[in-house]
Amino acid sequence: MQKLIPPVLRGTIKPAFNPRLPLGLRRRWLELTSRAMLAPRDCRYEATTLGGRPAERVRAHAQLNRSVILYLHGGGYFMGSPRTHRAITGRLARLTGATVYVPEYRLAPEHAYPAQLQDALAAYRALLDHGVAAECIAVAGDSAGGHLALSLLLALREIGLPQPAAAVLLSPWADAGLDGESVERIGARDPMLTPKWARLTGADFRGGVEADDPRVHLLAADLTGLPPLRIEVGSNEILLSDAEGLCEAAEAVGVEVSFRRWDGYWHVFQVHAGLLRAAAESLEGIAAWLRERWA
């Protein structure tokens, strides 16, 4: 299965990242193709609101605990939704017993930075306002959602709100200029992303913010005081350097980091947990790590 999935991704998911196609078509394409990802059926996916934005609440039918995961979906900041990531959010709900909230934050290019950060911050504030203790919250995100999750942690520190117990970053984007060594080295071998698409999307997301601004170029940000981080990345993706750079930067300022590089795997391969043993193993390990942090 590990060898079969990348060619399928090139023919199905990768076209959704083609900047030459109309944006509306790319968004619908991703929504349709994501239905092939096997979302757990023993979970409830409920429409709700969080922080003034539409959101999805994901809960397993089994016994729930007090823990909450605020999951920020990927999609380059210009597509994706709670529905496209149910293969991950459903399994995290099932494996941890937590309630998972997935806000439908505003997308670029209609809404440039900092709209997405404002929505994520409003969602986190809403959890606190609803009586969820910060030590019971974990923040998680993949790809651009990983960038947003880390941006949220930095914003919480700056405004003095309590940090969550932990954060999980899957294949996180961190280098706003996409200048990492892996971008060109892996390039065309990445079965999902292309450097050209990633740079164009990053420019649309940033709006008038320069690529080297620490607010968006998170490898240049001061990560002091952040909660424990779990970072996972595939060896066959252009964002490998971003994940490795974040790990080094966080450890350099004393942040606890659990890092895993999955050799032979691709961008956010965890969405294939219903088909791929390594994807299921990754989410099982993340769930166990989160339970330790909540404890």
Q: Is 201 in contact with 76 (CB distance < 8 Å)?
A: yes
DSSP-based three-state secondary structure for 141: strand
Per-residue buried b or exposed e for 259-281, using 16+ beta carbons within 10 Å of the residue's own CB: beebeebbbbbbbbbebbebbbe
Task: List the catalytic residue out of 34, 67, 81, 143.
Answer: 143
Alpha-carbon torsion, ordered 111, 268, 157, 57, to 10 deg: 70
CA atoms within 13 A on the CB side of 54: 9
Question: Biggest alpha carbon distance in the chain?
Answer: 48
Q: Is 272 noted as a catalytic residue in this protein?
A: no
Q: CA separation (Å) from 196 to 66, 139, 187, 192, 193? A: 43, 29, 9, 12, 9
Cis ω for the linkage preceding 82 (within 30 of 0)? no
Q: What are phi and psi of 227, to 5 degrees?
A: -75, 175
Per-residue buried b or exposed e for 11-49, using 16+ beta carbons within 10 Å of the residue's own CB: eebbebbeeeeeeeebbebbeebbeebebbeebebeeee
Q: Is 292 noted as a catalytic residue in this protein?
A: no
Rounded to whole angstroms, how far apart are CA atoms 230 and 134?
17
Q: What are residue 69's DSSP bridge partners?
A: 100, 138
Task: List the catalytic residue out of 85, 147, 217, 267.
Answer: 267
Q: Is 73 noted as a catalytic residue in this protein?
A: no
**Helix and strand numbers, DSSP H then E, in the chain:** 9, 8
Residue 281 tokens, joined: 């193993």
Task: List the catalytic residue out of 85, 237, 241, 282.
Answer: 237
Rounded to whole angstroms, how far apart are CA atoms 117 and 114?
5
The catalytic residues are: 143, 237, 267
